[in-house]
Amino acid sequence: QVQLVESGGGLVHPGGSLRLSCAASGTNISINAMGWYRQAPGQQRELVAVITTTGSRNYADSVKGRFTISRDNSPYAVSLRMSSLKPEDTAVYYCNLNGQDQYYHDMDYWGKGTLVTVSS
């Protein structure tokens, strides 16, 4: 089974910065992309940023210019650098891996989430 382990969440003041990391292990699928989603209390989970195996990146409009997603290969991992944080960035952030198994089935794996709280 593919496992995703997130780290880096915590409490930060508005305008501050945090770096989230996600490491994947046990994968036996062809990876299409990895990314970060977030879910605030009582709200729907939303996409924050994704990066494909070719290095193409997409960001939610609300985080463009403030967040940067990167992919690492040794070990295989992604990170999310967050700056100029706002209270509305407060959420549980989830790492996501999308790919295809040996039968070409689309698969999504999720981490357990890491809490980011932006507050004065």
Query: Sheet of 67-73: strands edge to edge?
Result: 3-7, 18-25, 76-82, 67-73
pLDDT tens string 50-95 = 999 889 999 999 999 999 999 887 568 999 999 999 999 999 999 9
- Say whether pLDDT at 109 is over 70: yes
- Say whether pLDDT at 2 is over 80: yes
pLDDT tens string 12-30 = 999 999 999 999 987 677 8
pLDDT tens string 34-55 = 999 999 999 999 999 999 988 9
